[in-house]
Amino acid sequence: MADLATNVANVRARIAAAAGRGGRRDDDVLLVAVTKTVDAARVREAAAIGLRTFGENRVQDAREKVAAVSGVSWHLIGSLQRNKAREAVRLFGWIESVDSEALAEELSRRAEQQERTVDVLVQVNVACEPQKHGVSPEEAAAVVRRTAGLPGLRVRGLMTIAPAVSEPDEVRPVFRALREMRETLERSIRIALPELSMGMSDDFEVAVEEGSTMVRVGRAIFADRSRT
């Protein structure tokens, strides 16, 4: 467990430094530990050293882990098909990947059936990459407005996945664009959107500098540095 504790401490220190450069505090940024390819035993170890928020990419991969680890929050961070909405609502307190009005409507229906309220983020494909999910920047306002009006859902903000690049600073404009989009939507729709989920293992420091409130970090936490 020592390598895990070291990795988490290192990530938290980097978040704190980046937040300071952006004029914010480290506790303004939530660390979401991504458990893709990580087994339930390793997640239990992470919870034992104090991690309290975990992110999973696929509904089917979350079942065992959610059942095995209590007292923590789970975020769905991967794309979601409508036919898995019922189980997603059951397993996750947050769904970060709402990418259409149709998905939002299905999640709302399932949340009402289960008498639950789910926090959601609208995923925006800021860079307009054809291989990635997310609404286009032009569609974002309509999807946010519709989602905000649905029972059983609380729209809390926006999420994006930046392009893979060789230098993290190359994606700074993507993160800045999402922050500016959030500010525009808050003024035009007149709704608070406090959360910006942006930044992963390779680029979370730049994302934090640009205003991220949630970073989704997997490899930098769960890789065993003594074996690489």
CATH number for the domain that contains residue 12: 3.20.20.10
Q: What pLDDT sits at residue 2?
A: 76
Structural domain for 100, as ranges: 2-227
Q: What pLDDT sits at residue 193?
A: 98
Tokens of 196: 């910006």
CB of 209 closer than 8 Å to CB of 28: no
The pTM score is 0.95
Q: How many CA atoms lie within 13 A of 203 on its CB side?
A: 23
Q: How many CA atoms lie within 13 A of 93 on its CB side?
A: 11
Using 50 as the pLDDT threshold, list the residues of the chain that sit under it.
225-228
Q: What pLDDT sits at residue 21?
A: 97
How many structural domains compose the chain? 1
As a residue count, the chain comes to 228
Sign for the pseudo-dihedral over CA of 80, 86, 92, 95: positive
Q: What pLDDT sits at residue 224?
A: 62
CA distance 157 to 199: 15
